[in-house]
Amino acid sequence: MKFDTPAGANPIDRLKVVGKPTDRIDGPRKTTGTAPYANDWHDPQSRLAYGYVVGAGIGKGRIAGMDVSRAEAAAGVLAVVTAANAGKLDRGAFYVARALAGPDVDHYHQAVALVVAETFEQARAAAALVRVDYVRSEGVFDLAAAKDTAVAPKAGPFVSPEAKAGDFEAAFATAPVRIDESYGTPDHAHAMMEPHATVASWDGDRLTLWTAIQQMNWGVRDIAKTLGIAKGNVRLVSPFIGGGFGGKGTILSDAVLASLGARAAGRPVKVSLPRPLMFNNVTHRPATIQRIRIGAGPDGRITAIGHESWSGNLPDGPPETATEPTRLLYAGPNRLMRMHLARLDLPEGGAMRAPGEAPGMMALEIAMDEMAERLGMDPVAFRVLNDTQVDPENPRRPFSRRQLVECLRRGAELFGWERRVAKPGQVRDGRWLVGMGMASAIRGAPVMRSAARVRLDGRGMVTVETDMTDIGTGSYTIIAQTAAEMMGLPLDRVVVRLGDSAYPESPGSGGQWGAASSTAGVYAACVKLREAVARRLGFNATDAVFEDGQVRAGNRSEPLVRAAAGGELVAEDGVEYGDLAEWFALQTFGAHFVEVGVDVDTAEVRVRRMLAVCAAGRILSPKAARSQIIGGMTMGIGAALMEELAVDARRGFFVNHDLAGYEVPVHADIPDLQVSFLDEIDPAASPLKAKGVGELGISGAAAAVANAVHNATGVRVRDYPVTLDKLLGGMPEAA
C-alpha cells in the first residue's frame, strides 16, 4: 500500500477499539513472570553454555600480550575467544565501536576476551585468570579540553551539520535585546533494568540469536556484516525487551561475542553484560556544550536565533544533534544552527531517548526563559508570541498539525500558571522556597516502511505477525487494537506475535516512529485480509462493513468466521510512504509545567507537581500513551536533578558505572504526574492519523524543572544536573 496522500475516512475512524484506554494485553505475562526476555532463554536439551566478558583495563592503548592458558585450563571452560582466534570482524552500519579489542584498545571496558564455560560461575572465575599486558597511550577524555579541536560532522540521514537562514550575525548584533549564554549537559547512561543479553546458536552456517534489540532489521544487517555471513542465514528473536531507550537499537558486543563464543564452543552460548559493562562497554548519551544566542525587539519578537553544539565521539561516530529542535520550534527570520564534533576516546556516544531534542531543549528552553525575563515578559506569552505555523527555514512548508500554542495555553490553565510570582525567590512554604517553571516540547514524527502478516483461522481468531518490538511501550496492545478495529472483532479475538526477524519487516522501536509505522503496516495487511474475506463471502469489499464479528453489506450479514471455513485466510502487506514529509513538517508538540520546592537551608530540590500537555495526532491507546509521557517526564526529572556519568579524565572511563553510583529517580522523587492530550488527528502522518509519543515526554521536561528552580531561588544553573552544590552559594537568606 502506498501512502502518498493524506488519509481520508477509513474503518479506524469508528474508534470502537482504537483510542480506548485499554489494559496491556501482555500485562498478565509480565506480571506473572512468564514473558520471555533474552536472559531468560533456556532449553534443557540445548546444552547451553555461558560466556563472560573480560573488559579492557585501560582507556586507550594496545594489547602487548595476553595469557589465557590458566583460563583455558580452568574447570568447565570450553573456549576463550580473543582477537587472535575470532577471525576477521567488521563493524555494523549503525554503531561504530569494535566489539573486540586487539591489538588496539579504543576505549575502557572494550571486550578483550570472552571466556565460555559450562556454568556462569565457572566462566566468571576463569575470566579472572586472563592476564593482559597493556601499553597505554594518551587519550582524549574531556569534551571541554577537546572543544577547540572539534570539526563539522559528516552530513547524514539524521545529521545536518549546519542550517542557516537570513543574516544571523548582523541581525543578532543589532537586536535591541540579546542573550548569549553557554549551557552544558553531561554524559547520560540508558540505565535500563534489563541487561544487554544474547543467546547465540549455530546450525551449520545459520545463526539464531535470542537477544534484546529494538530494531530487528538493523540487527540482521549488522550482525551479518560484522561476522561476514549472509543476511539470509541470520534469525533474531526478541519478543520482549526490558527497556532500551535507544541503547539497544541494533546488535552490540553481547550479540557479537555470544555468536563468536557459540561458534568456538560448538554449543549455544549466553552472554549477559554485567552492569559496569552496560555503562562503559556499550553506548551512552554523549555530553554537550551548547551556545545559544537570541536577539529580539522590545515587543518580544525574535529576530535572530543561533544554536551551536559541541559533542564528542569515537572516530566515525555521529554527533549529538542538539540543534535540531531549534530549527523548527520558534519563528525568527535570521537563523544559524551549527554542530561541532570532537574525537573522544570514551565509550561510544549513541542515541538515547529523544536524541537531539532531549539535550538540545535542556539548553534552548532555559535560554528562552532567560530571554523572557530580560524582556520582562511572561515565559508562556513569549513562546506564544514566537509561534510559527510554517517551517522557519522553509516558509512554503507548513506543519501538518501544530498545536503548540494550544498546549501552552491549556497547560497554563490546568496548572494554575496565573498564580506564579514572576520575581524569583518570593514564595515560601515553611522551609521550602517554591517556584514554577515551564518549557515547550517538540519531537519529530517520522514514519517508515512497515509490513505485517494477518491470518484468520477457523475459530474466528485473527493473528498478527510483524517483527516490530515491544520495549515496554505497548506495541502488543496498539497492534492488537488496530487489527481488532479493522476486522470488527473484540480485542480478545486477536493474537499478536512480535520480535522475530522471520516475520514481515517493520522499522522497530525507536525514533518515535514505531507506533505510527507499525500500526500502519497492520492496517495495510488488514485491508488485504478484508478484501480476501469479502471475496470468499461474496461481498463487494468496498461496501462491506466489519463489525461485531460480522460482515455486512446491504441487508445481508455473515459471520466473519465463515470466511475461514474452507481454510485459513492469510494476507500480507505493508505501507510505503511517499513524499508527504517533504510537503509538510511532521512533528509532535507539548508543554511542561513544574512546581518545585527548594530547601532554604540545604538547597535540596523536590518536584512537587508536574503537568504535560501533548498534541501527537490520534492517541491509539490513552493508557499506554500516558505511561510513555510520564516515563519521559521521569527521565526529564532525572536529567535535571541527578543524572551524570562522572568521567575519570586521566584514565578515560565512567566512574559511577552501576545503579549505586549513577543516580536515577526513584518513587520518592516523583510526585503524581499529570498528562493531558489534545484532541488531534493528523491525516498526513499515517493511515491511522496517529503519531508517536514515546520521546515527546522527555523533550523540554528537564528545562521546565531547571526553570522552576530558578523561579524558586533566583539561582540560574546552566550546567546540568542542578545539584545543591550549584545552588548553595546564591540562595536567598534562610530567615
Dihedral sign from CA coordinates of 506, 508, 513, 519: positive
Cα-flanking dihedrals φ and ψ of residue 700, to 5°?
Answer: 90, -15
Active-site entry in 308, 485, 643, 695? 695
Separation CA 94–CA 73 (nearest Å): 37
Bridge partners for 131 per DSSP? 67
- Give me the DSSP letters along 451-497: EEEEEE-TTS-EEEE-----SSS-HHHHHHHHHHHHHT--GGGEEEE
Residue 733 is among the residues annotated as catalytic for this protein: no
Which stretch of DSSP H or E encloses residue 647? strand 647-648
Cβ neighbours of 414 (radius 10 Å): 14
C-alpha closest to that of 711 among 278, 394, 416, 378:
378
Question: Own/partner pairs for 200-207, CB < 8 Å, 24+ apart?
Answer: 200/255, 200/258, 200/259, 200/261, 200/262, 200/268, 200/269, 200/271, 201/46, 201/262, 201/268, 202/259, 202/262, 202/263, 202/266, 205/229, 205/233, 206/233, 206/234, 206/235, 207/233, 207/234, 207/235, 207/259
| Cis bond before residue 721 (omega within 30° of 0) | yes
- Say if CB 54 and CB 132 are below 8 A apart: yes
- Give me the DSSP letters along 292-340: EEEEE-TT--EEEEEEEEEEEESTTPPPP-TTHHHHHHS--SEEEEEEE
Q: Which residues are catalytic?
A: 695
